[in-house]
Amino acid sequence: MSAFDVVVIGAGPGGYIAAIRAAQLGKKVACVDAWVDAKGNAKPGGTCTNVGCIPSKALLQSSEHYEQAKEHFEEHGIEVGSVKLHLDKLIGRKNTVVSQNNEGIKFLFKKNKITFISGKASFAAKNADGTYAINVEGKDAQSLTATHVIVATGSAPRALPNLPFDEKQILSNTGALDIDKVPKTLGVIGAGVIGLELGSVWRRLGAQVTILEAAPTFLFAADEAVAKEAQKLLTKQGLEIEVGVKIGEISQTAKAVTVPYTTAKGEEKTLKVEKLIVSIGRVPYTDGLNADSVGLKLDERGFIVVDDECRTNLPNVWAVGDVVRGPMLAHKAEEEGVAVAERIAGQHGHVNFATIPAVIYTTPEMAWVGQTEKQLKEAGRAIKVGSFPFMANGRARALGDTSGFVKIIADANTDEVLGVHIIGPMASELIAEAVTIMEFKGAAEDIARICHAHPTLSEAVKEAALAVDKRTLNM
């Protein structure tokens, strides 16, 4: 039986990063992960690398190129003739990107002298000396002893009641990444990140896409101004979006899926599509963990119960990422993984939930950090707001994408930045400046006084900060 200072269960963003940081701090580390391909080869990286963040961004990029070539190259004086889609090559490129990331993680394990074990790990017992016995089933079946255990088993897609995923017609994010033929009609239930991104991919490639959302407002988690602009722009692109709907009993035949629903106005409608993506959230994945054997506490929704520092109810057992409270985001999992590894080593790991950014990689992209204008007003906070459109940004004009804006919300008295909301080109990259400023409790004036290179999209962030004080220079 091999003994380790730290055994990490799960090699997704939270798990593999926790393993690396623990190894950097001098711990003897093993990381166990169950993900394998059809041939049984290990594929570390979790949902993010295999069927989430990485492959979806690869498809978004490819589909964006396809649409640009079909509809926008002529604006730049480029004539390409007939544009043909080879879906097998497009999916193949996505798979290559995923494999490269898998291999990159394996390399990092070797570089940091981490023992990587391919298999499914579960608790076997709590030993008399306070260590934990871990059982591994699968390719590298064995027994382990761990002084500390970090559970990073992630999450799984939530299915509709009585409608299991078959990944052929009823698709989770997994099946939606591997459709072998562009469907003429595609339905999406859920207008969250996954629904909007994957809906955008297949719309660009030629599908007629209808998105049904139960919430009464579109992107209720986003700032109202961003949500309103996003719905307008995505609808203009060709996505059909209905909010406030109530889904009836879904039926399917060999060729179609029928979705009856009631609109927000009470109208009875039916959506008939070739394929249906269900993206109504995710559930923590604890199946097979054998938590009961050691008394690991789960809450009523299946999440592992942790305190503010990711400690479970068991000594030296920690949990991070999607399997615990908080936003189900890869970067949140990574930060928790680093913090836990540092706490195990006697340091003071830190995660600030108030400055975790959110991103949606549609076109235009959306990104935000901090509170929305509505949240701050409901809390009675005195605020001032500045906004600047990309229409007035020189780099955006040169790129040919002037949609959207940057919005900055600051405290009316102290000028501290309380929220930044962006919809527009490269919003996912621009939000990092806002996160940095907010992490240091900086002011809108700080952003306004920092020299931004010209011409760049980031100048829109500076101009929005200037707008907080009603002194924009380029509008």
The annotation status of 155 as a binding-site residue, yes or no, is yes
CATH superfamily of 174-281: FAD/NAD(P)-binding domain (3.50.50.60)
- pLDDT interval class at 319 (50, 70, 90): very high
Of the residues 65, 72, 350, 454, only one is catalytic, namely 454
- Pairing of the two strands 257-262 and 251-252: antiparallel
- φ, ψ (nearest 5 deg) of residue 46: 65, -165
Q: The pTM is what?
A: 0.96
Question: pLDDT over 90 for what percent of the chain?
Answer: 100
Task: Give per-residue pLDDT as tens, 31-50.
Answer: 999 999 999 999 999 999 99
- The string of DSSP codes covering 451-466 is ---SS-TTHHHHHHHH
Q: b/e per residue, 448-474, with b = 16+ CB within 10 A?
A: beeebeeebbbbbbbbbbbbbeeebee
Q: What is the pLDDT of residue 297?
A: 98
- Pairing of the two strands 417-424 and 365-370: antiparallel
The annotation status of 57 as a binding-site residue, yes or no, is yes
> What rounded mean pLDDT belongs to the chain?
97
The annotation status of 442 as a binding-site residue, yes or no, is no
Query: Quick check: 406 and 270 in contact, CB under 8 A?
Result: no
Query: Quick check: 434 and 354 in contact, CB under 8 A?
Result: no
At residue 1, does pLDDT exceed 80?
A: no
As a whole number, mean pLDDT of residues 311-321 equals: 98
CA–CA separation, 26 and 36 (whole Å):
29
* Tokens, residue 150: 């970090």
Task: Give per-residue pLDDT as tens, 329-352.
Answer: 999 999 999 999 999 999 999 999
The annotation status of 230 as a binding-site residue, yes or no, is no
The annotation status of 328 as a binding-site residue, yes or no, is yes
Place of tokens 């459709």: 179
- SS3 of residue 85 by DSSP: coil
* Tokens, residue 323: 């399997």
The annotation status of 195 as a binding-site residue, yes or no, is yes
Asked, colleague to colleague, whether 2-154+285-345 and 364-469 share their fold, the answer is no
Domains of the chain, residue spans: 2-154+285-345, 174-281, 364-469
Q: What is the pLDDT of residue 242?
A: 98
At residue 442, does pLDDT exceed 80?
A: yes
Q: What is the pLDDT of residue 219?
A: 98
At residue 179, does pLDDT exceed 90?
A: yes
The annotation status of 192 as a binding-site residue, yes or no, is yes
Does the annotation mark 454 as catalytic?
yes
The annotation status of 153 as a binding-site residue, yes or no, is yes
The annotation status of 194 as a binding-site residue, yes or no, is yes
Place of tokens 């255990």: 149
- SS3 of residue 421 by DSSP: strand
As a whole number, mean pLDDT of residues 83-107 equals: 98
CA–CA separation, 41 and 94 (whole Å):
18
The annotation status of 331 as a binding-site residue, yes or no, is yes
CA distances from 18 to 14, 296, 306 (A): 6, 20, 16
- pLDDT interval class at 402 (50, 70, 90): very high
The annotation status of 190 as a binding-site residue, yes or no, is yes
Query: Quick check: 286 and 299 in contact, CB under 8 A?
Result: no
The annotation status of 426 as a binding-site residue, yes or no, is no
Query: In this structure, what DSSP letter does residue 388 have?
Result: E
Query: Quick check: 428 and 361 in contact, CB under 8 A?
Result: yes
Question: pLDDT over 70 for what percent of the chain?
Answer: 100
| CATH 1.25.40.80 is the classification of domain 2-154+285-345 | no
Task: Give per-residue pLDDT as tens, 108-157.
Answer: 999 999 999 999 999 999 999 999 999 999 999 999 999 999 999 999 99
The annotation status of 307 as a binding-site residue, yes or no, is no
- pLDDT interval class at 243 (50, 70, 90): very high
- φ, ψ (nearest 5 deg) of residue 163: -140, 75
As a whole number, mean pLDDT of residues 177-189 equals: 98
Extended beta strands in 48-184, E state: 115-118, 120-126, 132-137, 142-151, 155-157, 170-171
Give 364-469's CATH code, choosing from 3.90.180.10, 3.40.710.10, 3.30.390.30, 1.10.3720.10: 3.30.390.30
